[in-house]
Amino acid sequence: MKKILFISAVVLGFTLSACDSYLDINEDPNSPSAGNIETDMLMPAIEMNIASSYGNFLRIAGGFHSQQYAHLFGTSNYVDYSQFNMSATRSSSTYSQLTQRALSNLKTVIDKSSAASDWGTYLAAKTLRAFTYQILVDCYGEVPYTEALDPSNLSPKYDEGQTVYEGIIAELDEALQLAGTSDPVCTNFLFPSATAGKWIQFANALKLKLLMRMADVKDVKAEVAAIINEDNLPTSNVAYQNCWKNEPGQMSPFYAEEFSTAWGSTQTNVAANLAIIGTMQIMDSEGNIEYQDPRLAAFFVPNEDNEYVGGISGTNYPGSTSKLQSTYWCRPVASYDMPVYLITVSEIEFFKAEYYARYGSASEAENHYAAAIEASFASAGVAGADEYIARNPYSSNFKECIGLSKWIALSGVNNFEAWCEMRRLNYPTFGTLAGSNFYKEGDEDSYNVSQYVPGTLYTPIMVFGEVGSNKLLERYPYAESSSSRNENVPTFPGYTSPVFWGK
């Protein structure tokens, strides 16, 4: 995997050229305001490390683990992901990027902004810190938190995931108490010209997600009700956008990794998966298209025959020479300026729908379920939400209807979060067929997906043995960059042991 590094001089060069807002011409460089030089330089670098991890490695791995992506012919880069595997070394550099380059530098920004009573910047840094810890817990289950980021402690203890979640929620609460909507925020990419008001909304949305993710292991009714009743949540998608350029080192991370030739790579690795294509495009008994989700064209590019064809998890089609070449499959829509979504309006509405399904009224749950789907269609820039809702109405089995619809909505937006929500809601579920029923390894004439049941998962071909049949990869082994140097690393509980919110 190519690495997109947004650090030190590379970061500074990127930020200076990619966003005009990085330089404030009204700031006297000989008389800067307290703390501005260091925080203004650090925050964009921190953000690009988060964006490159979340929008590249975790998007790709999440896409394979959620069966939204499959592997293309002729390469082996991600076959292990496709077989529901993740080694301690594969995620190691991303772990280091999130901890050493994001969290460590966020600590500096937090300390500087606190000392200067710069509460807008303080809230922004605390929100990104909470977001980063959420990612780590959702990947690994347990991570260093209470003893982390102390250079004198080389073996910090690993805290339970729920301890980390509750800790970062408390941190958000404290920062929200300190920041006002008109407080200034240091230079940043997420809300470059806004005061703390936008960050307050993002922090509230992040709290909503954290709390709802704990809903099966903790009573979060009162806390979520307070957020919903306050009604100060983002009204547009929160994403890194309008800060990418069509130049090497300045492209949106997923595009740069998989689609740009600027790095000299000619490999094409990522295709759409049979599961997501077969769910968004319903075929009748004669093989004709009965229904096609209008978002399909916004999420995936048709193949050379202008058809939507998805690959099978667990294989790169060895031995294929004609039909199953890379041009046979449809690929994800990608562009150099594609957003890196942190949370969308659709996700927020799905969480509200789930809250009302659990604690409130079915009618409110149904309303927010519809609003979530409408927001997804609007974000994709297509019409047709009403027909989708009619075909996939809200039901009392809220985990099923929300889980399936959220899985589809996230397939073109945020594949990592799709993998997380699948593990939590347990939808979509596994069907009765496996990948080997759709394709026999090495025999291109055996590719036949007519028996696929929409909205189901399947066991990958040559699935990783420690996951096995009809199971999801539930967590990553502790990253080698952390565990190899830490004598307090816990015993790995196994690839199918859920993180705390999935138990």
pLDDT of residue 263: 60
For the chain, the structural domain boundaries read: 8-26+34-247+338-431+472-502
Q: What are phi and psi of 270, to 5 degrees?
A: -105, 125
Report d(CA 217, CA 141) in Å as an integer.
Answer: 14
pLDDT of residue 23: 28
Task: Indicate the class that CATH gives domain 8-26+34-247+338-431+472-502.
Answer: mainly alpha
Report d(CA 192, CA 240) in Å as an integer.
Answer: 10
Report d(CA 427, CA 271) in Å as an integer.
Answer: 22
| Encoded tokens for 263 | 């790095």
pLDDT of residue 76: 83
pLDDT of residue 427: 98
The H or E element containing residue 71 is strand 69-71
pLDDT of residue 17: 35
Report d(CA 130, CA 164) in Å as an integer.
Answer: 9
Q: Is the dihedral of CA 459, 72, 494, 455 positive or negative?
A: negative
Which DSSP string do the residues of 420-480 spell out, in sequence order?
HHHHHH--SEE-S--HHHH--TT-GGG---TTPPTTEE-PPTT--TTT-TT-----PPPPH
Question: What's 384's DSSP letter?
Answer: -
CA-closest candidate to residue 38, choices 112, 99, 90, 91: 112
CA-closest candidate to residue 342, choices 143, 203, 479, 488: 203
Which DSSP string do the residues of 304-359 spell out, in sequence order?
TTS----B-TT---TT--STTSGGGS-EE---TT--EEEE-HHHHHHHHHHHHHHH
Residue 439 sits at the vertex; the CA angle it makes with 436 and 445, to the nearest 5 degrees, is 150
21 three-class SS:
helix
Residues in contact with 284: Cβ distance below 8 Å, sequence separation at least 6, in sequence order: 290
pLDDT tens digits in sequence order for the chain, 503 residues long: 444 433 333 343 333 333 433 323 233 333 333 346 689 999 999 999 999 999 999 999 999 999 999 998 767 899 999 999 999 999 999 999 999 999 999 999 999 999 999 999 999 999 999 999 999 999 999 999 999 999 999 899 999 999 999 999 999 999 999 999 999 999 999 999 889 999 999 999 999 999 999 999 999 999 999 999 999 999 999 999 999 999 988 999 999 999 887 665 566 799 999 999 999 999 998 889 999 999 999 999 999 999 999 999 999 888 766 788 888 999 999 999 999 999 999 999 999 999 999 998 999 999 999 999 999 999 999 999 999 999 999 999 999 999 999 999 999 999 999 999 999 999 999 999 999 999 998 888 899 999 999 999 999 999 999 999 999 999 999 999 988 889 999 999 999 999 999 99
Which DSSP string do the residues of 202-261 spell out, in sequence order?
HHHHHHHHHHHHTTTTS--HHHHHHHHHHT---SS-EEE-S---SSTTSS-HHHHHHT-S
